[in-house]
Structure 1
């Protein structure tokens, strides 16, 4: 990594080799998972679910394909995301601003909308 800003976003699992062996043995298909799982509002209130929740662990799990990270695909998707957010910023600016809008109004509106698209995209993390 050239910049180390994102290095603290994730951490290493303790006993990683043991964890990997256990997960590999389960042969979980690619996808995103939450555990413990409660299928609907009633299940989330059940004693069995609450017991699992309190016992832990609680987490989200992403299973990806084996092998190197597909950097070209990820960068392409990121670029498309950038283009879509910028199109949305331009659309909102076109709707809200006039030809006589001053530079500060344009700046405030476009930076607010752009920040919403970029900065708030992963606020839950």
Structure 2
């Protein structure tokens, strides 16, 4: 089957996911619990500003290599706390248009990969449920599973991961359903 016949479900499913994610984040607002404010935010911001960190990801206490984990001074820093991973963004208000455009691009990429896998495993006119199963599974892997490693390695609260995985399951179902409805006939 020519890949060109799959561009419509690729783009439509990306649009459907984009709209669904907008509803989940702006209307339902259950992701408000994903981040918290520090009780002494102003003092922490002032302390960070003194170091003038460039955008990036920082860890404190920082160890250049694992050998330092045996250093009693480093061990004491970990025991005293706080232990934190911090993402520093560029100065200025968040550029929502950029983030939304990147999110839509990612959604197109996920749908493209789902279409690629489906194209090589299914045939035109294939049963709708099988189309939904293949494309939805690929979409679930892309939209949901990566968040689990954030809780394992980056300290992301598991509640955040559960919310993200639920979102991913919704996006996967919508992707699979879109492909099922728009799958090329035999």
Q: Normalising to structure 2: TM-score of the pair?
A: 0.61
The corresponding residue for 2:49 is 24
Partner residue of 1:93 out of 115, 118, 127:
118
Aligned match for 2:78, one of 44, 48, 53: 53
Q: Give 1:45 deviation, angstroms.
A: 4.2
The separation in 1 between residues aligned to 2:104 and 2:67, in whole angstroms, is 41
More divergent stretch after superposition (91-100 vs 21-30): 91-100
Q: Which has the higher helix share?
A: 2
CA distance in 2, matches of 1:31, 1:103: 44
Match of 1:74 among 99, 103, 107: 99
Q: CA deviation at 1:3?
A: 3.2
Question: In the alignment, which residue of structure 1 is the partner of 2:147?
Answer: 122
**Number of matched pairs:** 125
| Structure 2 counterpart of 1:104 | 129
| Post-superposition CA distance 1:60-111 (Å, at most 9, x none) | 1111122211111111111111111111111111122233632211111111
1:40 alignment partner, one of 48, 65, 83: 65
Name the CA shift for 1:44/1:97 in 2 (closer, same or farther; >3 Å). Answer: farther
Matching of residue 7 in structure 1 with residue 53 in structure 2: no
Deviation, 1:115, is: 0.8
CA RMSD of aligned residues (A): 1.8
TM-score normalised according to structure 1 size: 0.86
Q: Unaligned regions of 5+ residues in structure 2, if any?
A: 1-25, 151-155, 157-186
Deviation by residue 1:19-41 (Cα, 9 ceiling, x = unmatched): 11111122111211112222233
